[in-house]
Amino acid sequence: MKLTDTAAVVTGGASGIGAGIARALAERGCSIMLADIDTCAAEEVAASLRERGAVAKVMACDVSDYASVEALADAAWSAFGSVQMIFNNAGVMSSAPVIDADPREVHWIIDTNLKGVWNGCSVFGKRFRAQRLPACIAITASEHSLGVPHLGGGIYTASKHAVLGMADVMRQELPDFITVSLTFPGMVRTRIYEATRSSPIGPAPENVRAFGERAMAYGMDPLEVGQRAVQGVEEGEFMVMTHPHVRVIAEKRWQAVDAAFARAPEIDNPEQYEVEAVMARLVAENK
């Protein structure tokens, strides 16, 4: 996809990977709308993009709220005339063992990381389909989409697995002129360790946040990740990898699946249960 002179919306654009994506887009001559719950930080990112000659605007948006995402799209189309990219990047994380997580925090993570991404896909996807220009729905997934990189973030891991499944179906349902691109970063040096500042149960204890901050210091530069995400959109990649070691996490998952199949029962004509073939047959019979 040719990006010069196109417009993009980046959710969670006030910080970290979103700010990196915005900068990479600015370098390619795109106009950008940064959407975030933290508009002060977003204004600072927008000002730095404008200093580099880009058109950059800010819109307050809570991605977990469908109406807020509709208002974002209205603002973007009225600012730029047309929009051809949505980067569904906003995300939050907390670190509670799965069965001990607070129900309010579970809702908050799923509402932001899964429902928030679906809101962006649905609102922008429908407008892209009607607009009939080349367009891309991009999503910041994670190494947590492919396996289990570490414990202590199980609900986050679940949300990131879910966006991969959703996106894989969506890309096959959309018309050819709309592509879908997911980026799967490993550790990136961002403020995600502070995400619980917007949690409904309040910020994580200081020692948990301090540990997160120390870990994040070992992460990749968010601009590097943003550059890869934008390159992935440009080059039509469905799965965009940034950290080569993430292959090990994906392979570990596959090895577990493979080993489990070795113990599956042996049956005659296993293809009889192939759901795609069964559905195709039923559709043909109903014609």
Ligand X SMILES: NC(=O)c1ccc[n+]([C@@H]2O[C@H](COP(=O)([O-])OP(=O)(O)OC[C@H]3O[C@@H](n4cnc5c(N)ncnc54)[C@H](O)[C@@H]3O)[C@@H](O)[C@H]2O)c1
Q: Which residues bind ligand X (CB under 6 A)?
A: 11-12, 14-18, 36-38, 41, 61-64, 89-92, 112, 116, 140, 142, 185, 187-188, 190-192, 195, 198, 219, 222
Q: 170 and 125 in contact (C-beta within 8 Å)?
A: yes
Choose between 131 and 239: whose C-beta lies nearer to ligand X.
239
In the complex, the smallest distance separating the C-beta of residue 50 from ligand X, rounded to whole angstroms, is 18
How far is it between the farthest Cα atoms of the chain?
67
Choose between 70 and 177: whose C-beta lies nearer to ligand X.
70
In the complex, the smallest distance separating the C-beta of residue 103 from ligand X, rounded to whole angstroms, is 18
Choose between 7 and 114: whose C-beta lies nearer to ligand X.
114
User: In terms of C-beta distances under 8 Å and separation of at least 24 residues, what long-range contacts does 56-61 make, across chains too?
Assistant: 56/22, 56/26, 56/31, 56/32, 57/31, 57/32, 57/33, 58/33, 58/34, 59/33, 59/34, 59/35, 60/35, 60/36, 61/11, 61/35, 61/36, 61/37
Choose between 238 and 270: whose C-beta lies nearer to ligand X.
238
In the complex, the smallest distance separating the C-beta of residue 271 from ligand X, rounded to whole angstroms, is 38
Q: 232 and 181 in contact (C-beta within 8 Å)?
A: yes
Choose between 17 and 83: whose C-beta lies nearer to ligand X.
17
In the complex, the smallest distance separating the C-beta of residue 91 from ligand X, rounded to whole angstroms, is 2
In the complex, the smallest distance separating the C-beta of residue 260 from ligand X, rounded to whole angstroms, is 27
Q: 134 and 84 in contact (C-beta within 8 Å)?
A: yes
Quote the CA–CA distance of 31 and 22 in Å, as a whole number.
9
Q: 170 and 180 in contact (C-beta within 8 Å)?
A: yes
